[in-house]
Structures are given as structure tokens and as C-alpha cells.
Amino acid sequence: MRAVAATGADASRAAFRSFVDEVVIPRAGDFDLAGAVPPDVVAEVAARGYLGAVLPDGPLPLDMVGLGALHEEVGRGCSSLRSLLTVHSMVAFAVHRWGGDAARERWLGPLADGSALGAFCLTESGAGSDVTGLAATAEEDGRGGYVITGHKRWITFGQVADLLLVFARTGAGIGAFLVEAADPAVRRAPVRDVLGTRAGMLAEITLIGCRVGPEALVGGPGTGLNVITGALDVGRYSVAAGCVGIAQGCLEISAAHAATRRQGGALLKDHQLVRRMITRMAVDTEAARLLCLRAGRLKDEGDPGTLVATCAAKYFAAGVAARAASDAVQVHGAVGCVDGHPAARYYRDAKVMEIIEGSSQVHENLIAEDVCRTGGVPRSASPAVPLQGLPPDETTRWEIA
């Protein structure tokens, strides 16, 4: 069975795959055991332009389909490293879309070349996908700036990020603020021994009276919810693609193991029940890839349908990754249950994918709301509305205050 997304004229995918095979996969187990992606790997990812790939004027101009291919391939090698691409892309996207001139001038270059790493600081003890419990505050300082106080949890790559996109309550609603991690009012503590994406360098981040200027505000003082929604769309797309990568990785190691391991006098690949698992992995992976491809194409076309399509892709791909990883461990048996084995790592990482960027249950709510509103009419049966596209140099601003 030939993977659809690998059949196009996408030479970039071959380069991504080669990088992952040569640089990431041989060391991904070590990253997992050490709980960190080493700086030299981050530097190589940055040098290749992968960190800034979400930016239209970045060092590696990719369309969204191409970005999905990049995140899939990196996800095949190491979900922790893919998580860096995810959160960094979310911050870069937010600065590009909603940042003011000063913020764009200051940060887009470093975010594009990776000299500054971004982290997305939304989650708190009482707030995540549901932001109603957001407790961090940003009080006006009387000079146009703000004083931010709050405690953020589970911040991916928060241990090493240079630029934090922090969400906090303002007098007008929720605001999004750029905070330099080196600010003395920012404290961060590593979170270790997590179930999956162990090299994701998670941190708890505490801001104690952190002062920022007016240029730190991304969007309006009350439009942070829209920044969250827009950035999450990028994050969900990235995670969906990364899940396809997990499933693809599970498929490849399972097929290889089944072709060499004998059981009961026959190779595993010749046992029908093993064949069933491998077949399910292959077909599920391809189906998830197609949903990602659809979401990416809609993004490239500027079609509003991409928002729900991305939710569908993330929801489905996360389930596929979890099932494929479970089956990969099953195919490998005891050897796949050991720390350091890729099947075990895929299994732990895949579970995390069903939780981050909106849990599977959150996605069930979002998708069901869309279906109930539209009546479930297939998209292809709806009349097409021709799109004119944005004028050159304009950016989409998905905000409604």
C-alpha cells in the first residue's frame, strides 16, 4: 500500500524523512531516557528552517500541506521534538497574525531562525481548553503596560524557551502577552517523570508581578480567546500530523519485527492475527493522513472549513496513534515493554496525544456542535462559495471580541 501523501511532488518530504532517519531516530530513545532534547539537535532543526516553517516569510517557505508533512515526519521520529515544533509554531503564528509592529519587528526574526524558542503558556491548574477558570491576571500599570501574575503548568519546552506567550485576565477579558523568559519576575521549575513526550522539557512557570510594555500585548486586551483559538488550530494541525507520524512509526517497526521474529514455527508476519494488527495500522494511518491532508489543503485555500477539518483530523489521528502504538507493543511482546524501545515510547507518547491541544472529548464536543448546526450534510454536497483570498501582505485575523 502506497501512502498518498508521499506520492506527490513533495521533494521536501524526502528531505524531512532523511533528516529524521539519520539524526532523530537513532537518538530519540536517549532523548526520552534523558528527559531532554539536546541543544545540538534543536540547533540543527533551527538551522534547517524547521522551527520557522509556519511563517510565510520564514527560512523554509512551506504551504500548510508541506508543514503537515514536516510535522508528521518529525513525529515519526520523536514526539517530544515534534512538540517543540508545535508550540514554537503556535507562538510564531500568533506573533505573525496578531502581534503589533514592534513585537513583529522584535520577535519574528528570532522565531523564524530559532534563535528564540517559543512556549505557549495557557494551562493552569483550573484552566486549559476551557479558559473560564483562567486565574492569571494582567493589571494595567497606568503607562500602557501591564503587570502579570499567575502560575502556568505543563508548559512544553518551558524549561528552555526564550519567549513565553502568556494568557492572563485583563479588565477587558483575556489578553495574550509576550514575556521574555529571562525576566527576573519569571520563575520556572522543570516537570519530570511524565508519562509521555518525556523529552518535552515541561515546566511550571510562575510570574510574580512581571512588568511588560504595551508592545507585549498580542491582539487586543480582550481578544486573547481568539488568539488561543487561532493558535490552537495550528497546534491541533501539528499534533494531528505528529500522530500520523507515530502511527507510521509503529507500522514500520511492527512490519520489520514481524518479518524477522519467529513464533510457533512461523514468522510473525505469517500469523493471521498479527496480519490483522498490521493491516489495521496501515489503513488507519493512511486514513488519518488523508484527514490531515484535507485540513492542510483547506488551510492553503483559505477555506473556513479547515477549522473543523483540523479538529476531525486531530481527533481521528490521536485515536489511530493510540491504537497503533498499543498494537505495536503487542506485536513486539515483552521487548516492546521496555524503556528505550521505540514501541514503548510510541505507546506512552500516543496517550498524551489524546489529551493535548484539546482532549478527544473536547473534540467530540466541537465536532458534534458543528454536525448539529449543519445537519450533517456532507461538505461535498454543500454549494461551494468561491474564495478570492486575502490581498497580498495581509494576514488573517480570526478575532471576534
Partner 1 sequence: MAEDTRAVVGQFVRGKMPKVELGDDQDFFELGFVNSLFAMELVMFVENRFGLRVPNDELRRENFRSVSAISDLVDRLSPAREPVPQEATA
- Residue 126 touches partner 1, criterion: CB under 8 A: no
CB 217 within 8 A of CB 244: no
Does 109 participate in binding partner 1 (rule CB under 8 A)?
no
Q: Is 303 in the site for partner 1 (CB under 8 A)?
A: yes
Binding mask 307-346 for partner 1 (x = CB under 8 A): xx--x-----------------------------------
Please tell me whether residue 123 binds partner 1 under the rule CB under 8 A: no
Alpha-helical (H) ranges within 178-223 are: none
Question: Does the footprint of partner 1 cover residue 266 (CB under 8 A)?
Answer: no
- Site for partner 1 (CB under 8 A): how many residues? 41
End-to-end CA, the chain? 48
Backbone angles phi, psi at 297, to 5 degrees: -65, -40
Footprint on residues 215-244 left by partner 1 (CB under 8 A): 219-220, 223, 225-226, 229-230, 233
**Region 70-99 residues binding partner 1, contact defined as CB under 8 A:** none
Nearby residues of 229 by Cβ (< 8 Å), 6 or more positions away: 398
Count of positions (residues) in the chain: 401
Q: DSSP letter for 388, please.
A: -
Please choose, from the candidates 323, 326, 294, the residue with its C-alpha nearest in 3D space to the C-alpha of residue 311: 294
Q: Does 378 bind partner 1 (CB under 8 A)?
A: no
Residue 203 or 311 having the CB closest to partner 1? 311
CB closer to partner 1, 100 vs 109: 100
The window from 13-21, 177-185, 255-263, 371-379 that contacts partner 1 (CB under 8 A) reads 371-379
* Residue 359 near partner 1 by CB under 8 A: no
* Binds partner 1 by CB under 8 A, chosen from 34, 135, 259, 387: 387
Residue 265: is it exposed, middle or buried by C-beta count within 10 angstroms (0-12/13-18/19+)? exposed
How far is residue 97's CA from residue 102's CA, in Å, rounded to a whole number?
13
Strand partners, 119: 164
- Residue 382 in the binding site for partner 1 (CB under 8 A): yes
We find the least distance from the C-beta atom of residue 151 to partner 1, in angstroms, to be: 24
Residues paired with residue 118 on neighbouring β-strands, in sequence order: 163
Angle at 164 between CA 90 and CA 401, to 5 degrees: 65
Q: Smallest distance, Å, CB 374 to partner 1?
A: 6
By the rule CB under 8 A, 361 interacts with partner 1: no
Answer yes or no whether residue 182 interacts with partner 1 by CB under 8 A: no
Residues 6+ apart with CB under 8 A from 239: 86, 314, 317, 318, 353, 356, 357
Q: Are 38 and 31 in contact (CB under 8 A)?
A: yes
- Min dist. Cβ of residue 158 to partner 1 (A): 25
Q: Give yes or no for residue 57 binding partner 1 (CB under 8 A).
A: no
Considering only residues 139, 305, 326, 360, which one is a binding residue for partner 1 as defined by CB under 8 A?
305
Task: Answer yes or no whether residue 377 interacts with partner 1 by CB under 8 A.
Answer: yes
**Max CA distance (Å), the chain:** 79
Beta bridge partners of 168: 175
**Which one of 8, 126, 304, 333 is in contact with partner 1 (CB under 8 A)?**
304
| Residue 116 CA: distances (Å) to CA of 102, 109, 148, 278, 314 | 16, 9, 21, 41, 27
Q: Which of 56, 302, 333, 340 binds partner 1 (CB under 8 A)?
A: 302
Shortest distance in whole angstroms from residue 389 CB to partner 1: 6
Q: Which is nearer to partner 1, 67 or 225 (CB)?
A: 225
Q: Cβ closer to partner 1: 32 or 233? A: 233
Q: Please, what is the minimum distance in Å from the beta carbon of residue 304 to partner 1? A: 4
Kindly compute the dihedral angle of the four CA atoms of residues 354, 363, 94, 184, in this order, to the nearest 10 degrees. Answer: -50
Contacting residues toward partner 1, per CB under 8 A:
219-220, 223, 225-226, 229-230, 233, 302-308, 311, 366, 369-370, 372-375, 377, 382-383, 385-391, 394-401
